[in-house]
Structure 1
């Protein structure tokens, strides 16, 4: 129990008004300690990675991140419909629609009608060549990012990020308190 309280104290601290700080009395509320707040740290890392990648892909390949995510999704699973593409690329419907229109004009993808109101999309040969060129650069950027990590640390990081993603998918809108599971050492 004490260990959990110490961990929580490291992550948050009681806010203090300037007047209360001198008296030692805590003000109402909690202040998030940015250096220990996991959602904030993940967001900061994601913003840095996405900003750098976006500039890099636009400068060297003439496409943005949305188009890159679509290229990746279509390379892995050709002739998929927009709802599946949205899910696989992690993009919303409007972003996918706009990006597909641009990519079709550039000759990177082509679409065809499927049963019902859906359209399926796949990469053209030009789109596949662009994907392959960018994929090589993306892997090189990842290697640069992880250069100071051991293979064991990379495996741990991937495992933790996968677990964090699953936990994030399970978050609810209710502000219930959840006790962290104790890990056996």
Structure 2
């Protein structure tokens, strides 16, 4: 059996994601001196103010080391602020300058999303978002596949 890469949904999603992330990283580095992971982390803390890096990793499925590097860089540049929470937890939120940077970057992110969805009707866009959420909801079932097989 061989995969039909033109119809294999995990492959298509990965291909799309990698190409979008790669081109975003090039653009964001040139314009804002931030990579795509840095943008995702900044955006996360703009949306989920005063949450932890661990929570960001869990929601976005990002590598802890990559998020840790982004948090440190964003904090060093004055775009994130922190506060202790409990014994070993630290929570983060964007600073005023972080919010300004976010507001500049989000315009570009939304324009890229619009370009990606060119030719989709409003209903098709709604359906696509619904389908993507359904796929996200199936991730526990995907993780369970093969667990009890050796």
- Same fold, judged at TM 0.5 (above): yes
Q: Where do 5+ consecutive residues of structure 1 fail to align?
A: 1-29, 177-185
Which residue in 2 is equivalent to 1:131?
102
SS in 2 for 1:32: coil
**1:150-174 alpha-carbon deviations (Å, 9 max, x no partner):** 1111111111111122223321141
1:40 aligns with 2:11: yes
**1:5-64 alpha-carbon deviations (Å, 9 max, x no partner):** xxxxxxxxxxxxxxxxxxxxxxxxx11111111111111111111111111111111101
Matches of 1:168 and 1:70, distance apart in 2: 22
Which residue in 1 is equivalent to 2:37?
66
Matches of 2:43 and 2:111, distance apart in 1: 16
Give the CA deviation at 1:92.
2.2
Matches of 2:2 and 2:85, distance apart in 1: 53
Which residue in 2 is equivalent to 1:180?
none
Which residue in 2 is equivalent to 1:115?
86
Which residue in 2 is equivalent to 1:76?
47
How high is the TM-score relative to the length of structure 1?
Answer: 0.74
Matches of 2:53 and 2:11, distance apart in 1: 31
**1:111-168 alpha-carbon deviations (Å, 9 max, x no partner):** 1222211111111111110011111111111111112111111111111111122223
1:151 aligns with 2:127: no
Is the 2:42–2:74 contact (alpha carbons within 8 Å) kept by the matching residues of 1? Answer: no
Equivalent in 127, 140, 146 of residue 174 of structure 1: 146
Matches of 2:74 and 2:145, distance apart in 1: 36
Structure 1: which 4+ aligned runs deviate by more than 6 Å?
Answer: none
Which is bigger in relative contact order (C-alpha 8 A, separation at least 6)?
2
How high is the TM-score relative to the length of structure 2?
Answer: 0.90
Matches of 1:88 and 1:166, distance apart in 2: 13
